Amino acid sequence: MQSHQSKKIEINGIVQGVGFRPFVYAHAQRFGLTGWVRNTSHGVEILVSGKPADLNHFIKEFETSPPPLARIDHFSAETTPYQAFPKFEILASQPNPGDFIPISPDMSICEDCQRELFDPNDFRYRYPFINCTNCGPRFTIIKIIPYDRPYTTMADFPMCETCQAEYNDPLNRRFHAQPVACPDCGPQLAFISKTDQSEAMGEDALQATRQYLADGKIIAIKGLGGYHLACDAKNEVAVSTLRNRKKRSDKPFALMANDIETIWQYCFISQEEENLLSSRQRPIVILDQKPDSGLSPQIAPFQTTLGFMLPYTPLHYLLMEPAESFPQVLVMTSANLSDEPIVYQDEDAFSRLGNIADAYLIHNREIYMRVDDSVTRVMNHQPVILRRSRGYAPNSIRLPFQTPQILAAGAELKNTFCLTREDYAFLSHHIGDLENLETLEAFEAAVVHYQHLFSISPQIIAADLHPNYLATRYAKQRAETENLSLVLVQHHHAHLAACLADNRRPDDNQRVIGLIFDGTGYGSDGAIWGGEVLIGNYQNYERRYHLSYTPLAGGDLAIKTPARVALSHLWRAGLPWDDILPCTTELCMEERTVLRNQLELGINAVPTSSMGRLFDAAAAMIGVRQKVNYEGQAAIEMEQLVDPLENGSYPFHLHGQEIDPTPVWEALINDKYQGIHQAVLAARFHNSVTQLCLQICQQIRSEQQLNMVVLSGGVWQNKVLLKNTIKNLKNHQFEVLTHQQVPPNDGGIALGQAAIAARLEQIRS
């Protein structure tokens, strides 16, 4: 016994509700150790006794094979005076008010549950709500903390004896799995047809749904974080009917297929893309479509890409089960009306989706927090998150410094908000475009929910400088009524800081070059910024260069009409509105006269340095698109035209702070006269921006010896631009930071706002 030792181990991170204590228990048994494990309000605590070699093996297991959903943020083990225990046991929790536990996102069904789902001998055979500690719903069903069944939407379902026995058994995969359920005691499916008023339950409901889908009908399906609208992706009529009923022109629909092999029939899939598709988060992955894929062109009009995801719930696997008469690929698009948030409550589904769906597949497990599907794309061999939601939120992002408790309200479009405490930043799931009452209500409800879940009462509120953003108004109002300090952050400074925080750059006063290329952001001079070269850090920034101001005549009308943006750019550059340019002929003579007057008199013409608008202008001049139906459409379509073998480019002119595109337009129009193909023009324009980035960075390096470059802003969702620019900068020994955990678009803004507010506060105090 002399050689025996005791160790006290403390672990923080996502270690509760993910099978951590059974994991500890099982390994303690395996190595013949005694002692105990218990949940505390900040993680898990273990006291364990045994031979030193066995203790070391035990500790090694946390590194080599932790439970799949666990995330260890801090691990400490110290030797303590030897204590003898009769056995190893799991003790009751030790809560501590004010502390918090990170909450796991909802995770796709695990392999074990998937096997049981299709095993005729298992008592959960074909049960659509099978789950265990390694998988299933989490964030979407939690009402309040602690994460215990009575505080989730599973409270309505008392466990049967079998489930209870598994729940109580430390060696069972379902030990303390809060959503555990079976056909006897858990939620059930129901099918309701609108066409013939028929209803069905359980397996019959599933089969009725499959029959409807096979017949080309549109079904509203209740999922994990909200409703989907589903139909056969090969059925032209079904897809265009869905598009018409949803009033959604051109914006692509997401697709679901049962396995990678099926997706491979329609799209090219790299190893990185396959890994992302089959990851536990199961995001939508944007893939390059194969020519003549046979899917309805109505799925993603004018696009060469498709957004695919694999099934992520047991219900999806049952729904997608391959059969000769059943569609291989389903459209699975978020159920909402145009710009409203995703529908997640049953009453809402019946009232709002009544004119869209032919039938409903619902269930009686309530969704407490709505969460959309996440959207990702592999760019330059790295996964980039374009919409951070299901599977990722509410995972915390570790900050490189300690922060006070802050609420950052985020931006207007693709809104997410961020709450911080200690060195954790909780970036919310995707809320949506904060342009209507429904979305604002979803935003406010989610803020309150996150504050409760993570025990945060903000002392500081950060928001965008834009006076008319609903999120900014909300922030100002709260700061006033609760007497909190308010920090207003310039939009592109927030982008820069978001990328620094995303990469865990310490706050060491080192300045970086920020190439912040974006659609729209309110500038400190009241203009609309977006083609910004900032030099700065968390605390402040200098606007070193920006695209020349061009009047955005007509505001919103201009944003929806790239032709007008193009003509405005030509006007600014003093170039004629030549009839060889499709953007000129797009407008009739009268419209041109009105536009010219607006520009010359400066009526309703806000100056903008937007890089997004520069891409719109180029797309219109090249003849890619004159009107858009959603943000970024023209740029997306121009990007996919790019001839990868073309390496010509056009020069920008730098003078003072300005990046003047006049010579780019001159050269492009000249190429147009030569009859050069669109694909070459698109490539030359992209190359021009890539060359500009290098030129600017070299200029700044020669002036200020700065070597680190940050790429952030919505324009960096452009795969061609991102890849070429990174390559070009790295070839010239620049260090390049891009987004890893949060989107480069405005979905990442709140993280930057929070980081800036945290550092400003530190300077003050």
Interaction between residue 177 and Zn ion (CB under 5 A):
no
Q: Whole-number minimum distance, CB 687 to Fe ion, in Å? A: 24
Nearest to 115 by CA among 102, 106, 99, 126: 126
Q: Which of residues 513-552 bind Fe ion (CB under 5 A)?
A: 518, 521
Nearer to Fe ion, 390 or 491 (CB): 491
Burial group, residue 646, by CB count within 10 angstroms (0-12, 13-18, 19+):
middle
Among 26, 59, 77, 185, binds Zn ion (CB under 5 A): 185
Please say which residue, 170 or 582, places its beta carbon nearer to Zn ion: 170
Give me 428's structure tokens. 């919310």
Tokens describing residue 379: 């760019």
Which pair of tokens denotes residue 521?
A: 């952001």
Q: Give the Cα separation of 6 and 522 in Å (integer).
A: 59
- Identify which of residues 160 and 214 has a Cβ nearer to Zn ion in the complex: 160
Q: Which of 110, 256, 384, 559 binds Zn ion (CB under 5 A)?
A: 110
**What is the phi/psi pair of residue 74, to 5°?**
-135, 140
- Give the whole-angstrom CA distance, residue 679 versus residue 681: 6
User: Partners of 9 in the beta sheet?
Assistant: 46, 77
Does the protein bind Zn ion through residue 113 (CB under 5 A)?
A: yes
The stretch among 11-19, 153-161, 355-363, 421-429 that binds Zn ion (CB under 5 A) is 153-161
| Nearest approach, Cβ of residue 140 and Zn ion (Å) | 16
**Alpha-carbon distances, residue 91 vs 22, 80, 403, 443 (angstroms):** 12, 19, 33, 39
> Nearest approach, Cβ of 744 to Fe ion (angstroms)?
9
CA dihedral 259, 265, 271, 275 (to 10 degrees): -20
Q: Which listed option, Fe ion, Zn ion, none, makes contact with residue 562 (CB within 5 to 8 Å by class)?
A: none
Q: According to the binding rule CB under 5 A, does residue 182 interact with Zn ion?
A: yes
Q: Which of 215, 363, 374 is nearest to 281 (CA)?
A: 374
Interface with Zn ion, residue 134, by CB under 5 A: yes
Q: Is 163 in the site for Zn ion (CB under 5 A)?
A: yes
Which of Fe ion, Zn ion, none does residue 746 bind to, with CB < 5 to 8 Å depending on kind? Fe ion
**Closest distance of CB 758 from Fe ion, Å:** 20
Burial class (CB in 10 A: 0-12, 13-18, 19+), 284: buried
Nearer to Fe ion, 489 or 659 (CB): 489
CA trace torsion 418, 420, 426, 427 (10° rounding):
20
Q: What angle do CA 747, 387, 305 make, to 5 degrees?
A: 130
Residue 617 touches Zn ion, criterion: CB under 5 A: no
Identity of the residue, 22 or 743, whose beta carbon is nearer to Zn ion in the bound complex: 22
Closest distance to Zn ion from the beta carbon of 332 (Å):
22
Burial of 503 (0-12, 13-18, 19+ CB in 10 A): middle
Quickly tell me which residue has 């796709």 as its tokens: 108
- Taking the least distance from each CB to Fe ion, the nearer of 210 and 430 is 430
Stretch that binds Zn ion, among 154-162, 432-440, 498-506, 750-758 (CB under 5 A): 154-162
Question: Could you tell me how far CA 547 lies from the centroid of its own chain?
Answer: 28
What does 518 interact with, of Zn ion, Fe ion, none (CB < 5 to 8 A by kind)? Answer: Fe ion
Tell me which of Fe ion, Zn ion, none is bound by residue 182, counting a contact when its beta carbon lies within the kind-specific cut-off of 5 to 8 angstroms.
Answer: Zn ion
Question: How many residues interact with Fe ion (rule CB under 5 A)?
Answer: 3
Under 8 Å between Cβ of 734 and 708: yes
Minimum separation from the CB atom of position 66 to Zn ion (A)? 16
DSSP 8-state symbol, 108: P
Least distance from Fe ion to the Cβ atom of residue 753, Å:
12
Residue nearest to Fe ion (CB): 518
Is 586 one of the binding residues for Fe ion (CB under 5 A)? no
Nearer to Fe ion, 267 or 475 (CB): 475
Residue list 152-171, contact with Fe ion (CB under 5 A): none
- Interface characters, 310-349, with Fe ion (x: CB under 5 A): ----------------------------------------
- Give me 207's structure tokens: 């089969």
Taking the least distance from each CB to Fe ion, the nearer of 331 and 375 is 375
Cβ distance to Fe ion smaller for residue 397 or 715: 715
Residues 6+ apart with CB under 8 A from 765: none
Cα(259)–Cα(400) distance, rounded to whole angstroms?
A: 39
Q: CB of residue 191 vs Zn ion: minimum separation in angstroms?
A: 22
- Find the part of the chain contacting Zn ion (CB under 5 A) among 108-116, 516-524, 539-547, 753-761: 108-116
Number of residues this chain uses to bind Zn ion (CB under 5 A): 10
Q: Residue 645 — φ and ψ, nearest 5°? A: -90, -10
Determine, following the binding rule CB under 5 A, whether residue 160 of this chain makes contact with Zn ion: yes
Rule CB under 5 A: is residue 132 a binding residue for Zn ion?
yes
110 binds, among Zn ion, Fe ion, none (CB under 5 to 8 A by kind): Zn ion
154 binds, among Fe ion, Zn ion, none (CB under 5 to 8 A by kind): none
Here the tokens at position 67 are 């439970």
Q: Hey, is 261 helix, strand or coil?
A: helix
- Interaction with Fe ion in 730-759: which residues (CB under 5 A)? 746
DSSP-based three-state secondary structure for 76: strand
Nearest residue (CB) to Zn ion, 135 versus 533: 135
Distance CA 492, CA 344 (A): 33
Q: How far is CA 443 from CA 27, 33, 416, 458, in A?
A: 43, 49, 8, 16
Helix (H, G, I), strand (E, B) or coil at 469: coil
Omega of the bond prior to 394 within 30 degrees of 0, cis? yes
Nearer to Zn ion by Cβ, of 122 and 438: the residue is: 122
H or E segment and range at residue 374: none
- Report the site for Fe ion in 500-519 (rule: CB under 5 A): 518
User: Of 166 and 518, which has the nearer Cβ to Fe ion?
Assistant: 518
State the residues that interact with Zn ion by CB under 5 A: 110, 113, 132, 134-135, 160, 163, 182, 184-185
State the residues that interact with Fe ion by CB under 5 A: 518, 521, 746
